[in-house]
Structure formats: C-alpha cells, structure tokens
Amino acid sequence: MAMNNDIQNALQMPDAVALGRAILNAYEQAQPLFEEYATKYSSPETYKEMMSFNPDPMNVRQAYLDFLKEITCDPQAMIRHQTDFVQDFYVIWQKSIAKFMKRDDSHLATKMPLNPDRRFKAPEWEEVAIFNFMKNSYLLVSKYVDESIKSSKDLSEHEKEKLAFYTRIFTDAMSPSNFAMTNPDVINETIKTGGENLINGFANMLGDLRRGKGDLNISMTQYDKFELGKNIAVTEGRVVFQNEMFQLIQYTPKTEKVLKTPMLIVPPWINKYYILDLRPGNSYVEWLVEQGHTVFLMSWINPDEKYADKTFSSYIHDGVITAIDQVTSITKEEKINTTAYCIGGTLLATTIAYLSATKKDIPVASATFLTTLLDFKKAGELLLFLDDKQISNLEDKMEKKGYLDGACLKKTFSALRANDLIWSFVVNNYLMGKEPFPFDLLYWNDDPTNMPKEMHKFYLHNMYSKNKLIEKGGITIDGVDIDLSKVKVPCHFISTKEDHIAPWVATFDGSQFLGGDVTFTLAGSGHIAGIINPPAKKKYGYWTNNKSAKSAEEWLKNASESQGSWWPHWQKWVTGLSGEKVTARKVAKGIEAAPGSYVTAEKAGD
C-alpha cells in the first residue's frame, strides 16, 4: 500500500552515512569519559565509599515496612482501594475505546486531577486514544498510590509525608512523558528529523557528563550566554571592604538625592548573592538604587576545607555585625535599614537579637525578612531530608571534606521539584535534542555554594532538628542567650504563597515571636519568582492585612489582595523609616569593581 504523500513529506529518512558518522563521533567522544569514570571509581578510596553507600538515604525503609504491615492487617481497606481503582480504571478504558471509535465520551467521568499538568501539553495526550490511555492510567495509578499512603491510620504525619514524597520521586520518574517511545512530542520530532534529535540528545548527554567529570550534571540553561559582571550581576558598584568571610559592595547612586538611612542586604550564605541582581530590569538591587536607597550588599565567600571550623558565631560577628559597622562608618549614620533573604534572614534575626541583648542602642532602624523561617516546625518538604539519621549522614560527609558540597544541596532542591528541575530537562535536552533556554534564574540556580562543617551542623541541629531559635535562650552565641522577643525594631516579613522551601504559614508563625512592630505581606508565586518580581512585569499580586491575627489562616481570611509587585508597597513602608533625603553618597574606589572576586571565584581562595 502506497504511503500517504503528506506522511512521506513529513517523514525525513536518516542519511545512513551521516548517521553512522554521528554515532562513531559520539562513541569517540564518549571513550575518554568512560575511561575517566572508570579511573575515578576504581580507586581504593572510592571503592570503599561506594561499598558504604547508603541505599536508604531518606531513612524511609521503616515507614514502608509499617505501611505494608498496616495493609496486611486491614485487608478490607485494601479491597476498598482496589475496588475504587478498578472502577476508575474501567472508565478510563471505556473512554479510550470511545476515542478510538471516535465516539462521544463526555458522559464518562473520572476522578482525575483537575490541575493542568505541563508534562502532557501535546494535543495527542488528549486526542489520540493510546496516548490518552497511557496518560490517564499513569495519573490514576499515581493518584491512588498517593491517596493510599495519606489515608494510612497507623503512620505519623511525618512518616506519611516522607513516604509520599519518596514514592512521588519514583512515580515522577516513571511518567510516560519521560520515554522516547511513549512521548508524542519526541516521536513527532524523531519522525521530522529522521532521528537527528536523538543523536543531538546523546551529544548533549556527553557534554553534561564532561561538565560533571564523569557524573551526569544536567544542563539547565546555556551557560555560555551568561557572564557575571557582563550581562548578569551588572548593577554598578565597588567592593569597599572585605575580610575572609565576605566582600561588602556599595552600589553607585542613580539619583541626585538619596534616603538618609542606608540599606544593607544580607543574602543567604547557601547561595550566591546575585539572585538579587540578575539581568537589568530583573534586579532587586538595581530597583532599590533607582528608588533612592544607598545600597550595600554582602557577598559571602564560597568556603572550602579551610573554613571547616567557622561557626554560626563567625557569620554573626565577622559577617553581619562587621558589615553593619562598615556601613555606619562609611555613611556616618548611626542606624541602617536591613533586608535579608531566606536563611540570611534567620542569621539577621539572630544577629539583631544578639545586639539587643548586648547593646542599649542597636544600629538597626528596620529589618525586612524575605521568605525567612524563624520557627521551623512547619518548615515544609525540606524537613523530609533532615531527620536525625539523615543529619548524621550529612555530618559524615562534612567530616571528610570539612564542608558540605553545594552540589549536594542543589540535588536536594532539584528533588523537591523533580518534574520541573530534572525530568523536563531530560526530555528537552536528551530526547528532543534541544538546547535549554538561556534563563538567568537557572544559571544562578546551577551555581551553588558550599556549607562550612561547624556552621552547617549548628544550623541543622538548632534550627531544623530542634527548632531552638524560637525558645528564649534556646541557643547561645558566645555565652549570650538569644531571645527573639528582644527584637524591637520595626520588621516587615515578605513571604510567598506557593513557597515550598519556606512555607508562608511557617514564616508567619515565626514573625509572631519578635517583640516589636511586625508587618506581614504575602506575595504570589514561589520562593524566588514571588520575590524577584519587578513592578514592570505586573505579575502575581500580593495580600496585606493590618489587623492582628492569631493564625496564618485567620490573617489570610481577612487580608486584602492587590495587583502587581509587592516592591512599591514595601517601598512606602521602608521610606517612612529612612529619614529625609540627602545628597547622594559617592562610592569610594575601594578594592575592585562589583560583582567582586568572591562571587566569581569557583572556590574560596581561587
């Protein structure tokens, strides 16, 4: 039977000679990688490490065993779940037959998730019977597995959450969208290009293996499209101070007059600071300068083994307090405004509490906390990685190196959003054979920093594990009891509604432990997009409520929603605490131009 002309025109048969050359070239490129990998993992030290590999890194085995025991002890519940599953599966089967026969299937209702799933955007997932059946079968199985775990009566909430998360990692990996033969987009691309997409995808994989020095390090963006100081982190400024912990950047004013009270930004030490200074037009730092702030920012060192004994106290004294002293000295002002992001806010709140306990008049006029946890009781999915056994495993890793490798934390954050940060790139890069989109945010996301051993041990034990920061005297810094209720300066918490790292309910709870005037604003979107949201984008919106509330839920119930970015709303608040306008301050020549060598160095000391 002759092939339809339209199909013939769409189908590109591969050039056998070119295809053979491409495969041979890929094989030749792969050989050095295979040899490097073999050498890397054949040393006695590496072999010993591999043999001591923990097959249960999330300490989930016992939860699985308890879950299976509950199922066997309650067969009626298992039968109910199976009956419901079979009934829904039968409906899916009927709908698939109806699609295949081109009959109306609108009368066949299933209990499928209503939220759109970006993995199944291609029209074939809905229109073609076989793809529709695969999609709905997969979603149905995932749904019932998740519901079976969450309906458990014997498991604790923490065990259920951990078990559900670990199971979701597996079900996400098994999605039909992740395989070449069951993804219509990949099939169409393979037909259209004659298989060239798969050859390109293999080349992309080899490139990622080279980047990871034998380990697969999936590319999330086009790294050669970005250069710090050239098209990212480009807000003009100078490094005006540095010590072994951080560089202090002062940014060049863009207005003739500036607010009298300067602004110090404390970024997380777990990431590089330029999330706050991405490309022009998408930079919080740039916007602050344009609003008339004298902006200073701390750029933390990326520590190596020499920093193993640096403590939380080191980050307070040689970090934040030193930065505050430098800003007051440079500007000749007695008080400064402060803004901190994520765990930088945890550090700032602890620092202000320490200063409040040791000084009569502290040099801080206000504090803004962006997605900051002080109460870690409801700290979200990260708690699933941080029970006692898992913390012990992390400590073993840190003992060997003197620090926790930033790549380890990057993998953890990627696992929290595997479909977005792992599998979408597997499909795009390896199956479709395309380059990832040049995205500044993902360039930053793939540029992690290390955690000093002693500092990180203190943080994990006292914050995530024991939740001691909210206790009066729960932690001590150089013999001084930390009491958050002594923080009397005006504070503004900015949290985001879809935050999976610092859930807004938890940040709200933490804000209630401070002793002064606290303003709380809830922005739309997530941990990063909700914060880095310039007004020009006109996206997401935010909620405000000036009335006191006993709980986060009560606060939101009575909150008012506004459109657009929270930045101008916050600017009105901080302006009221910043005094009159003064002549813009000139920036000294200092040490070097921003962004500074600490953020561009691959490791501390490079």
Q: Which residues are catalytic?
A: 342
Give the list of residues 6+ apart from residue 254 with CB closer than 8 angstroms, or none.
Answer: 289, 290
Encoding tokens for residue 216?
A: 């697969």
DSSP-derived 3-state class of residue 379 = coil
User: Are residues 426 and 208 in contact, defined by beta-carbon separation less than 8 angstroms?
Assistant: no
Distance CA 178, CA 185 (A): 11
Supply the DSSP symbol for 182.
G
User: Are residues 575 and 259 in contact, defined by beta-carbon separation less than 8 angstroms?
Assistant: yes
Encoding tokens for residue 274?
A: 């330029």
Encoding tokens for residue 277?
A: 């200074």
Distance CA 461, CA 457 (A): 6
Distance CA 60, CA 58 (A): 5
Distance CA 580, CA 472 (A): 37
Distance CA 164, CA 145 (A): 8
Write the secondary structure of 388-446 as one string of H (helix), E (strand) and C (coil).
HHHHHHHHHHHHHHCEECHHHHHHHHHHHCHHHHHHHHHHHHHHCCCCCCCCHHHHHHC
How many CB atoms within 10 Å of residue 101? 9
Give the list of residues 6+ apart from residue 403 with CB closer than 8 angstroms, or none.
Answer: 303, 304, 305, 307, 308, 450, 451, 452, 453, 456
Encoding tokens for residue 389?
A: 């056994």
Using the CB atoms, write b or e for 62-80: b if 16+ within 10 Å.
Answer: ebbebbeebeeeeeeeeee
Q: Is 387 exposed, middle or buried (0-12, 13-18, 19+ CB in 10 A)?
A: middle
User: Are residues 478 and 313 in contact, defined by beta-carbon separation less than 8 angstroms?
Assistant: yes
Distance CA 67, CA 573 (A): 51
Among the listed residues 555, 562, 506, 498, the one whose alpha carbon sits nearest the alpha carbon of residue 531: 498
Distance CA 329, CA 323 (A): 10
Give the list of residues 6+ apart from residue 211 with CB closer than 8 angstroms, or none.
Answer: 217, 219
Element (H, E) at 141: helix 129-150
Encoding tokens for residue 285?
A: 């730092």
How many CB atoms within 10 Å of residue 329? 10
Element (H, E) at 340: strand 336-341
Distance CA 327, CA 334 (A): 9
Please tell me whether the peptide bond between 113 and the residue prior to it is cis, using omega within 30 degrees of 0: no
